[in-house]
Amino acid sequence: MAARSTLAGWRRRSWGANLSQRAPPGSACRRWMGSMGRLPSESPWRRAEPAASLRHHTRVDFPILDQEFDGAKLVYFDNAATSQKPSSVMKILDEYYRSYNSNVHRGIHTLSAKATDAYEGARRKAANFVNAADRREIVFIHNATAAINLVARSWGESNIKQGDEIVLTVADHHSVITPWQSVSQKTGATLKYVGLTKEEVPDIEQLKGLLSNKTKMVVVHHVSNVLGSMLPIEEIVTWSKRVGAKVLVDACQSVPHMPVDVQKLGADFLVASSHKMCGPTGVGFMHGTFKMLSSMEPLLVGGGMIVDVFNEKSTYAEPPSRFEAGTPAIGEAIGLGAAIDYLSCIGMDQIHEYEKELATYIYESLLSVPNVRIYGPAPSQTDHRAPLCSFSVENVHPSDIAQIINSQHSVAIRAGHHCAQILHRTLGIDRNGSARASLHFYNTKEEVDVFIHALKDTIGFLTSRHSHS
């Protein structure tokens, strides 16, 4: 019998055990806050204070927001596209590349062991953050788009056939829709789209009516990146399970802004992007139930995801390694773990409460702007609206608004279709798209006031220019 390395065996057993264990609640937060020189009990944002005070305790952590351009202070309202990163995340990234940069899982030297522990520690943090039942249910992947493609290719193309149906909504992001269009083209399955109600939210009753024993997959967003509306995922999952359908949830606009519990939601798959939750770009995560992940073939094959390689065939590792071929985004995943620590130490409940205030404030403030149409539902006591507003101004192109409000007032907003052309076509504004202001917890009502003043000034400038042309 060939000799086996005791140390290497110990490392494999250690990493394998760590994958299935859960840390005591709050322990990561306590270690991280301790490294920053304060513990949660000493942290100002952990006291019983109004949600509005949140901005004062987090603003200092985002030095990028202190910039000025031509004498005007930056107002960053493009958070639905990407969020800013706190100093603690940048510090962790710098520490990784300066102190223990190494590949993970394969080496037994000190740097590799430290990198592996930090990388798998980030997986534990992500699992705890969304309350996964097992850390092996968290797959690190390039971004949410790649995660949806993984499900579509690995599960969809193997389990969906001609005559089956896939249900989506007209409000979904292109990255949600296009992978399933590909599955439909390859398998002969039919795509069914849920339309909008008069309140401009996806029609849940219509979705319920579309479900049948032909439905194999229901793909929905949790929060719309254009309408700001939130879907009742638990109900959708319940209805879908009754007909034997699987459910994939795009949670890119919910995970960074509110508590998300994957066990409570009950979906088969849920995807999120690091860069929208104060973490680095180039990494995201997918939650899949271990039963579902274990039933799927890998999309990419290569190093790091195999058990044995023979001349004619190979055997694959268990999830999540099965879906993480090659060298992963190690530093980025560790940075995502630091971002999760940061969000957790603030508290997602507190972030959510404050952002509800911001959502109502920006919506009501926009109503004071003449000739503005806001898309999506109005805020209410019962229906949550995300802190973003997509809007158009009569006879003014949204790209002109975004360009002038940036150059003249240093206000950063988005203009275009926001990767939702089907939705804009449904709303009757396909040609020009819309403008969008999207906020995060480090934004303030004072910034909303600056934005509204700048928007009125910009509209006045553009309309007067058009009237004289």
Reply yes or no on whether 419 is catalytic: yes
Instruction: Give the whole-angstrom CA distance, residue 225 versus residue 169.
Output: 13
Instruction: Give the whole-angstrom CA distance, residue 331 versus residue 97.
Output: 7
Residue written as tokens 């939650």?
287
Of 405, 138, 102, 398, the closest CA to residue 260 belongs to 138
Of 390, 402, 444, the closest CA to residue 225 belongs to 390
Which pair of tokens denotes residue 269?
């798959």
Given 252, 278, 389, 419, which residue is catalytic?
419
**Pairing assessment for the beta strands 388-393 and 372-375 based on DSSP bridges:** antiparallel
Residue 242 near residue 142, CB atoms below 8 Å: no
Helices 348-366, 330-346: crossing angle, 10 deg rounding: 80
How many other CB atoms are there within 10 angstroms of residue 75's CB atom? 25
CA separation, residue 274 to residues 47, 55, 168, 180 (Å): 27, 21, 24, 23
Q: Using CB atoms within 10 Å of the CB of residue 35, give its burial: 0 to 12 exposed, 13 to 18 middle, 19+ buried.
A: middle
Instruction: Give the whole-angstrom CA distance, residue 289 versus residue 445.
Output: 40
Instruction: Give the whole-angstrom CA distance, residue 431 versus residue 421.
Output: 9
Cis status, amide bond into 320, omega within 30 of 0: yes
CA separation, residue 279 to residues 227, 254, 256, 341, 343 (Å): 24, 15, 10, 10, 10
CB hemisphere CA count around 155 (13 angstroms) = 25
Catalytic residues: 419
